[in-house]
Structure 1
Amino acid sequence: MTVEEILNEASALLLDFDGPVCSVFAGIPASTVADQLRGVLADGGYTDLPKAVADSADPFDVLKYAASLGEDESRYVEAAFAAHEVEAIASATPTTGAHELIEAWHESNRPLAIVSNNGEPAISAYLDLHNLRTSINFVSARTRTNVAQLKPSPHLLDQAVAALDITPGRSVFIGDSTSDIEAAQAAGIRSIGYANKPGKRSSFGSVGADAIIHALTGLMITA
């Protein structure tokens, strides 16, 4: 089945945020945010971090480690992360074709949800900044209480299809990571891997994405 057939058979579209919609940390490097989150842990007395956490350029690695330490640590680090994400939105770069895809889907009179491990405040700020709010029916995103339920857990996807009142099998999710594809499979949702970097095509193929794309432009959406 082609990408267009999958999209046009679907009753709802679910989109990951960082990647398929925009590059959140285009102006503020993710490695800088990871360093700042490690600083939050250091302020709490956690200075001897595992090497993988101490060396990681991915703030999500620091967040996951904080969640393993306890509720307070998770809450403090998540709050700092959410603030940095909101700050980053001002310099976030829209993904080519993403806004056009969102608008075309909205015009097809089918619901669309953002499903993301990023924080809801940052996503809301982006939607408002780019006048996309009215084209989005629901946002299923990270909060201070669901850090343990981020993708590859199906929780956020389950939440989205429930809110849209659509059966999982009638939905399709576009994501740019293997954890997105794994979450979609666990939720019973078709998946399209957005291979925006070298090596992702083979990774998506290995985890069973239903289709793979390299760009969001040129996708034919019919009403």
Structure 2
Amino acid sequence: MLSEAGCVVLDLDGPVVRFFARPGAGEGPGAGPPGSVAPDIARDLHDIARLNGTVLPELDGVDDPHRILTAHDQHPGTGVWRRVALEIRDTLDAAEWKAAEHGVETDGATDFIRAWRARERHLSVASNNHPVAVARVLERLGVLDRVDGPVIGRDRDTRLMKPHPHPLKLAMVPAAGGPERHVMIGDTRTDLMTARAVGMPFIGYHGSPQGRELLEAAGAPVVMESMRELLAALPGTARWRL
């Protein structure tokens, strides 16, 4: 797939960075234990709904901030429902801007980005995170200038978030060719569904056995446990140096 691709489209959270990593996680001597701030953010969003009387029973126990946002944003209610949806959106936006300063690089991600671009192939990003936060993460990792294609983040209209094909269509680079000449690298069933919707080849990545099992069960043709596996698969790897 990589040898035939003119462009790689990366999901951000997972293949490039552990976006919601707790401050200090994986950052050298004295670093805190691995963990995610996503459940903390989710609790804040649940509290907003609870204080305003707009609790959705289907979200009971959900700790995915994006699911909470989309459920409220797409609720048909008006008045207080609209106000709560906007407050949840603003709270999540601010939390993601903060999280962008602490995301921990996925091992091998920036090496792959540099090696891929060294082969003069195109690179873009399609994420459900806030676009400003996505760009900030890439800047922190020192690879924003290596992304020559679009950097696509969360649309104001949550109906256009992945698995809607909109983000992947925007992320495509015309010079690379059609969707069959792109390949998406993602870590969720949602990423796989989005790639399928536009006819784009898909390579799965996940750092946990459970995550890899879910991707395999969903029908991902290739699932990796390390982004460094991509380096070994790059065309002409033996002839290039990072």
TM-score range, shorter chain: 0.7 to 0.9
Note the residue ranges of structure 2 that are not aligned, 5 or more in a row: 23-35, 77-81, 237-242
SS of 1:205's partner is: helix
1:56 CA displacement: 1.2
What is the distance in 1 between the residues matched to 2:16 and 2:129? 12
Quote the residue 2:153 is aligned against. 141
In the alignment, is residue 18 of structure 1 matched against residue 13 of structure 2? yes
Q: Could you say what the CA RMSD is over the residues aligned between the two structures, in angstroms?
A: 2.0
Structure 1 pair 72/156, CA: closer, same or farther in 2 (3 Å)?
A: farther
Deviations 1:200-220 (A, max 9, x none): 333223322231111111423
Structure 1 pair 42/162, CA: closer, same or farther in 2 (3 Å)?
A: farther
What is the distance in 1 between the residues matched to 2:54 and 2:84? 13
Structure 1 pair 111/162, CA: closer, same or farther in 2 (3 Å)?
A: closer
Quote the residue 1:62 is aligned against. 68
What is the distance in 2 between the residues matched to 1:9 and 1:189? 12
Q: Is the 8 A contact 1:9 1:170 kept in 2?
A: yes
With normalisation by structure 2, the TM-score equals 0.81
**Of the candidates 56, 64, 72, which is equivalent to residue 49 of structure 1?**
56
SS of 2:3's partner is: helix
**Of the candidates 118, 126, 129, which is equivalent to residue 118 of structure 1?**
129
What is the distance in 2 between the residues matched to 1:47 and 1:157? 32
1:23 CA displacement: 0.5
SS of 1:13's partner is: strand
Between Structure 1 and Structure 2, the one with more strand by share is 1
What is the distance in 2 between the residues matched to 1:10 and 1:160? 14
Quote the residue 1:222 is aligned against. 235
Between Structure 1 and Structure 2, the one with more helix by share is 1
| Mapping of residues 1-223 of structure 1, within 5 Å | 6-27=1-22, 29-42=37-50, 45-50=52-57, 52-69=58-75, 72-137=83-148, 138-143=150-155, 145-161=156-172, 166-218=177-229, 219-220=231-232, 221-222=234-235
1:82 CA displacement: 1.4
1:85 CA displacement: 0.8
Deviations 1:5-42 (A, max 9, x none): x1121010000010000011111510100111223334
Structure number with greater Rg is 2
SS of 2:56's partner is: coil
Quote the residue 1:3 is aligned against. none
With normalisation by structure 1, the TM-score equals 0.88
Note the residue ranges of structure 1 that are not aligned, 5 or more in a row: 1-5
Paired residue total: 215
